[in-house]
Structure 1
Amino acid sequence: MPTVEPPYFPIIYVRGYAATDGEIEDTVATPYMGFNLGATKSRQDHDGKINRFIFESPLLRLMKDEGYIDTYRDGDYVKGAAPARSVWVFRYYEPSSNDLGDGKRRQMVAFATDLRRFILSVRDKVCGDDPQARERFQVYLVAHSMGGLISRCYLQNVCIHGSGDKARDEQLGLPGASLVDKVFTYGTPHNGIDIRGLNVPDLGLTRALEADTFNRGDMARYLAIDGQPARVDTLDGHFPPERFFCCIGTNYNDYTAFFGLARKGTGPMSDGLVMIGNAAVSGAPRAFVHRSHSGAYGLVNSEEGYQNLRRFLFGQFRVDARLVIDAITLPPAIEKAVGGATGRHRVNAAYYIETEAAVRGARYFLHQRRFDQSSALMKNYDELVHGHDPLYLFTGYLHEGAKMPESHDRALAFQLRLAIQVPAYEIDNAFWFDEHYPGDYIFDETLTFEIRPRQTPLSISYGLASRHAPRRAPKKIASDDLTIAADGSLHFEIALGFDRQSANPPAPGFSGRLQISASPWNG
């Protein structure tokens, strides 16, 4: 009987939304429902130049990199035993197909109930009657777009409350344990879909096409969230958010579905369909990549999306980055114009915080938010000066098996660029142009980190490009500067920008601290 041992659990892919009957038929006519689609182009250059980059597909890469197999044999799912390292496609649209089903559209609870049945069938094929294997059995859910909402409906509603059919629930062991270890979503509208600032309505044509699935009122019902919440991006305590990763797209320009109408409706700060602010579960780790919702430049068929997926499922270390703002100085002419500190309430400005994270030797970014890609984190002057909570930047995972073969250093290395841009200042709601250049950066630094997990105690070093040369990490974090939490995670801070004790700080300028947490992942 195949061994069931973490982190190598079966992977179940849950595809996204099909709007029309024709799209449903096209969907069920394909075996892997998009998980086998690769790409040959990337859009990472700042000038939009298209580069040739061959990405084989998540399915093939999981086979090559982690030893997984697909599960189709002799025209159907495998009949006999299947290994734990297996990829399964949840074909939830088949019952709604005119060709393979009855042609009737299903609701989310029905999809989620079918997911329960599918997970149990996978358990039977992987574990058979082995009680120890069945006890250890878990799956990974990997979902695109609406597939993430089906996964949440399963976790938050069906596993907690059942499907509403007593006989069926008894057969499926509902309510009951989800048997899900981790969830990874690409471009899922966890807080619904907004078009021109309005949530998708629950009426008329949208209901006929099941687009009301993305209306927050409907979402609250099928996610079993009580009341009429303003946001529906909570797991409501029914699944640990740290085991739920959200990959968020930022390339709205290359989304061409629905004749480009969705892209025009959402605009910047979106993947062309889902707004950045709606694409994550509250409290869950996340990364932003410059990819569109789907298509040739889509999230699923991208190296960036795959690398986040692989590292989240199988990596050894989780790294979280947050930024603390200690001080922001203004240009001298503005200080003079408003009368110094007493008049700063008259000042406003949008500060765009750019972040880019990459691993050594890679041709992709694990995470990227840039002003010129309309995805940078934006905070106004008052929020930065008077805000007290650290700003969450991103979460990444380091995987020893994913190191570049050319690297002879045993360290797990990654690089983080952090920059703050101020396009324009305002005084009393009027733009101020004296001594200002559009797009000024008040801070721009690249940090290199190296983690050596084989050393005892764990060794972490870093370097700043402005002080220690690019791609170097000569400064070791002293034990006195490390805080070790009860869960074994390490926490430290790195001072950035000008020294707050300086008598003549740069103006404009920034002073702050980068907070890094490094936690063991996957045991």
Structure 2
Amino acid sequence: MDAPFFPIIYVRGYAMTAGERDETAADPFCGFNLGSTAYRATPDKKAPPKKFIFESPVLRLGSDHGYRDIYENGLDILDPDWAPPVAHDGTQEPGIGARSIVVYRYYDEGSRLHGTGEAESVEHYARGLSDLIARVRELVCARPANAVKPQDFRCYLVAHSMGGLVVRAFLQNPALGDKELRKSVDKVFTYGTPHNGIDTLGFNVPKWLGVNDINNFNRSRIADYLGVKDHPAHTRSGRVDLLPPATFPASRFFCMVGTNRSDYEVAMGLSRAFAGHGSDGLVRIENATVWGANAKGDAVEPAACAYAYRAHSGVYGIVNSEEGYQNLTRFLFGDVRVDIWLDIDAVTLPTPLQGEKNIQALYQIEFLASPRGKRWYLTRRVTEEDSPACRTHQELTDPAAKDRRSIYLSTVFLSNNARVNRERPSLAYAMTLNVRTPDYQQVKTFWPDQHYEGNHLFRDTAVIELVPPKVAGETWQFTATWQGQPEASAKADLSFKQLKQGKVQVLVPFENSKAPGIKGKVRLIVSGWNEG
């Protein structure tokens, strides 16, 4: 079936009003065809945006990977009068190709153009997604060139915003779709999905707020349509951003997280004001990811994620961005997966505070990864954009909080198709790590608290490079070298068998021995991705 180039089914996000549903119904690709020419390089809105032309996910999937849409003679595949396209030579093959982009047009029936003008429930949309996958499977299997049987059919689900909740409802709730169709979903990619609901002014939107279906983002309501209301993953914590066992593997799930609230102009800026800092203007950063859960309901495995300085939608939106597209295609079609963790061994206080007790400090961990020679980042976590990973001094020093010293940062996928220099065979990117704390505070009982200015505890860039073997099946060479501390580099030989069958752990040590200082390791978990 031309693996890994399976059909892509796009599920768009929330349309609040009848007018927005009409606009969606009038768009052949429901927003997946939108591009952009503007790039907000910094959080400073006063600085003019840089020119950066991104054509759109639909156009790039076509030009880069040979995908095409399924519309023919003004009809889509759900119309009973739809017929397969006629080729330039006059021949007509049954069905559709594996490299097809299918848009789930679930708002058509809720528009005044093609339907009643009334929106339906998430449960209804999830059942419709199941029906659409069944139709795509039927047509892909009908084309002899695909050489695939129904039980071997695979597809990708790509969703924006509420579309990701529709996808999860289909995957997680047994009552909302066919079991065999759920098994056919190979990977899921979400842009800016409120996996743990939407919070405004620090509170989850109420369940009783049914106007314009806003209560679809209430955590109790989400638990209803995900079918997890009585599962320990929800009952123990109230969270709904967990994938219980036997639903869908977190390792096949990717969350693209936006961090630019300032450019989200919906409701004349009220949305970003209510969402607050640490959001994309609608969805808070901590609500935009999912974790795999165990049978007890504990979060044990993060889904792959990346962060981009992009708004929820609009000119600077996350769907119509190079960052979103590159993460999407590398996740779907890439060759190597690298999960990036930070293990902190020790932190050193400023000299006047050493040996003192009751110290408070917040450590801000910034992380950026950029492909060799590119202007954009695969992932970007920066304090000024409210997206760093954070730990308190107590968490990094209390023996009872040992698990808090291992911090998941992001996942990067590398692809031979995305190499910058075709004459240079390696897959490479730059990894920048910055750990800083704004200040230190010593809490005193009878005297005023004392404050000490913080500092950058560590800041350096490492070049990560993987050299594929010249002969298929032989060993990959892996190197990671800090630019400021080349002696702290790491090297490893990764066999094809290791990458294919398991995960290889590479530790890249780092240290600032001065006071204040920090010591630890960047833990890179490398594994093969896709077939071949």
TM-score (norm 1): 0.88
- 1:80-138 deviation per Cα after TM superposition (whole angstroms, max 9, x unaligned): 22111010110001111222112332111110111111111112222217684323211
The change in CA–CA distance for 1:378 and 1:137 in structure 2 (over 3 A counts) is same
Q: CA deviation at 1:484?
A: 5.1
- Opposite residue 343 of structure 2, the aligned amino acid is V
- Give the SS at the match of 1:100: coil
- Confirm whether residue 297 of structure 1 aligns to residue 316 of structure 2: yes
Rounded Cα–Cα distance in structure 2 between residues aligned with 1:174 and 1:477: 44
State which of 259, 272, 280 in structure 2 corresponds to 1:250.
259
State which of 269, 278, 288 in structure 2 corresponds to 1:269.
278
Rounded Cα–Cα distance in structure 1 between residues aligned with 2:205 and 2:44: 33
The change in CA–CA distance for 1:18 and 1:466 in structure 2 (over 3 A counts) is same
Could you tell me which residue of structure 2 aligns to residue 444 of structure 1?
Answer: 459
- Opposite residue 94 of structure 1, the aligned amino acid is D
- Opposite residue 71 of structure 1, the aligned amino acid is I
- Opposite residue 457 of structure 1, the aligned amino acid is T
Where do 1:376-391 residues align within 5 Å? 376-386=388-398, 387-389=401-403, 390-391=406-407
- 1:148-207 deviation per Cα after TM superposition (whole angstroms, max 9, x unaligned): 0000000011xx2346xxxxxxxxx5676442111000000000000111001112xx30
Q: CA deviation at 1:377?
A: 1.2
- Confirm whether residue 409 of structure 1 aligns to residue 415 of structure 2: no
Where do 1:446-465 residues align within 5 Å? 446-454=461-469, 456-465=474-483
State which of 30, 33, 36 in structure 2 corresponds to 1:33.
30
Rounded Cα–Cα distance in structure 2 between residues aligned with 1:124 and 1:111: 20
Q: Is residue 459–residue 476 contact of structure 1 (8 Å, CA) maintained in 2?
A: no
Q: Is residue 442–residue 508 contact of structure 1 (8 Å, CA) maintained in 2?
A: yes
State which of 207, 212, 217 in structure 1 corresponds to 2:210.
207
- Give the SS at the match of 2:413: strand
Could you tell me which residue of structure 2 aligns to residue 284 of structure 1?
Answer: 303
Rounded Cα–Cα distance in structure 1 between residues aligned with 2:419 and 2:271: 38
- Opposite residue 75 of structure 1, the aligned amino acid is G
Q: CA deviation at 1:267?
A: 1.6
Rounded Cα–Cα distance in structure 2 between residues aligned with 1:307 and 1:497: 32
Could you tell me which residue of structure 2 aligns to residue 52 of structure 1?
Answer: 51
Percent identity between matched residues is 40
The change in CA–CA distance for 1:371 and 1:191 in structure 2 (over 3 A counts) is same
Q: Which runs of 5+ in 2 are unaligned?
A: 77-81, 85-94, 292-301
Q: CA deviation at 1:468?
A: 3.7
Q: Is residue 10–residue 85 contact of structure 1 (8 Å, CA) maintained in 2?
A: yes
Task: Output the aligned Cα RMSD.
Answer: 2.3
- Opposite residue 139 of structure 1, the aligned amino acid is C
Where do 1:116-127 residues align within 5 Å? 116-127=130-141
Where do 1:88-167 residues align within 5 Å? 88-128=102-142, 132-157=148-173, 160-162=174-176
- 1:7-47 deviation per Cα after TM superposition (whole angstroms, max 9, x unaligned): 01100110000111111111111111100000111112365
State which of 85, 91, 97 in structure 1 corresponds to 2:99.
85
Where do 1:463-474 residues align within 5 Å? 463-468=481-486
State which of 355, 361, 365 in structure 1 corresponds to 2:377.
365
- Confirm whether residue 260 of structure 1 aligns to residue 269 of structure 2: yes
- Opposite residue 87 of structure 1, the aligned amino acid is I
Could you tell me which residue of structure 2 aligns to residue 166 of structure 1?
Answer: none
- Give the SS at the match of 1:477: strand
Rounded Cα–Cα distance in structure 2 between residues aligned with 1:432 and 1:255: 40
- Opposite residue 118 of structure 1, the aligned amino acid is L
Rounded Cα–Cα distance in structure 2 between residues aligned with 1:325 and 1:125: 52
- Opposite residue 187 of structure 1, the aligned amino acid is G
Rounded Cα–Cα distance in structure 1 between residues aligned with 2:63 and 2:449: 55
Could you tell which deviates more after superposition, 186-195 or 369-378? 369-378
Q: CA deviation at 1:71?
A: 1.5
Q: Which runs of 5+ in 1 are unaligned?
A: 164-172, 499-504
Q: Is residue 498–residue 527 contact of structure 2 (8 Å, CA) maintained in 1?
A: no
- Give the SS at the match of 2:465: strand
Where do 1:307-318 residues align within 5 Å? 307-318=326-337
Rounded Cα–Cα distance in structure 2 between residues aligned with 1:200 and 1:59: 33
Could you tell me which residue of structure 1 aligns to residue 88 of structure 2?
Answer: none
Could you tell me which residue of structure 2 aligns to residue 329 of structure 1?
Answer: 348
Rounded Cα–Cα distance in structure 2 between residues aligned with 1:174 and 1:208: 33
- Give the SS at the match of 1:76: coil
TM-score (norm 2): 0.87
Rounded Cα–Cα distance in structure 2 between residues aligned with 1:258 and 1:508: 45
- 1:381-427 deviation per Cα after TM superposition (whole angstroms, max 9, x unaligned): 111223423110110100100111x4521010011100111111111
Rounded Cα–Cα distance in structure 2 between residues aligned with 1:114 and 1:452: 44
Rounded Cα–Cα distance in structure 2 between residues aligned with 1:30 and 1:494: 48
The change in CA–CA distance for 1:452 and 1:510 in structure 2 (over 3 A counts) is same
The change in CA–CA distance for 1:176 and 1:478 in structure 2 (over 3 A counts) is closer
Q: CA deviation at 1:5?
A: 2.8
Rounded Cα–Cα distance in structure 1 between residues aligned with 2:264 and 2:15: 16
The change in CA–CA distance for 1:522 and 1:484 in structure 2 (over 3 A counts) is closer
Could you tell me which residue of structure 2 aligns to residue 319 of structure 1?
Answer: 338
- Opposite residue 24 of structure 1, the aligned amino acid is R
- 1:324-366 deviation per Cα after TM superposition (whole angstroms, max 9, x unaligned): 111100111122xxxx1xx33x100111100000111111100
The change in CA–CA distance for 1:478 and 1:279 in structure 2 (over 3 A counts) is closer
